[in-house]
Amino acid sequence: MIYLVRHGQTAFNAEGRLQGHVDSPLTELGRAQAAQAGAALKRLTGGGEGWRIISSPLGRARDTAEAIRAALGTPDLEIDARLIELSWGDWDGGLRADLKARHPEAFGETGWAFTAPIGEAYDAAQARLRDWLSTLPPEPERRIIAVSHGVAGRLLRGVYAGLSKPETLAQQVPQDACFRLSGGAIERLDY
């Protein structure tokens, strides 16, 4: 089983900026969301014993994962670069509204660009997340809490459940819920 958590709200989220590999700190709301995630996961995992917490290396995900680790009393936090957010390349840190106005063709129907200059392509991001999944223990021995990002989380859920690209991109990316991935199914769990 995997509990997949998106990091809490950041300053860039609140400003409407694409973050990609650029980092911004959790807001007060983001810190509260991270604490709520920790409390929810403590309840869902029965206290967290025997669970691994694996996080993207970016600060916003690590800070969220640390809040979860503290709530569970888990001794270690693992970092795995394959859980990092999609890079928007030259657009990392840019205001979404400005970029969409200048490059409407790049955002398409879903509002997510995979054609940003020097950005990461959909297939490449999907491949690294598929690789991460392939290294995990098989179910039912799998006891993972993964802390990642909006787009990376969408792609990870899509790979896990064998969703098409449109189905993958249509998924929600809440910061006040996590997803339980078990038995090939995806279940949203609100905090």
Asked if 7 is an active-site residue, the reply is yes
- Calculate Rg over the CA atoms of the chain: 16
The one catalytic residue in 7, 66, 103, 187 is 7
Asked if 85 is an active-site residue, the reply is yes
Closest Cα partner for 143 from 52, 82, 68, 44? 52
Write the single-letter amino acid at 62.
R
62 vs 181: CA distance, rounded Å: 21
The one catalytic residue in 85, 103, 105, 187 is 85
Positive or negative, the CA dihedral 127, 128, 134, 140 is negative
Closest Cα partner for 125 from 60, 172, 77, 81? 81
CA 110 to chain centre: 17
Q: Report how far apart, in Å, the C-alpha atoms of 129 and of each of 32, 135, 154, 172 are.
A: 27, 10, 10, 18
Quickly list DSSP for 12-46. Answer: HHHHTB--TT----B-HHHHHHHHHHHHHHHHHTT
Catalytic residues: 7, 85
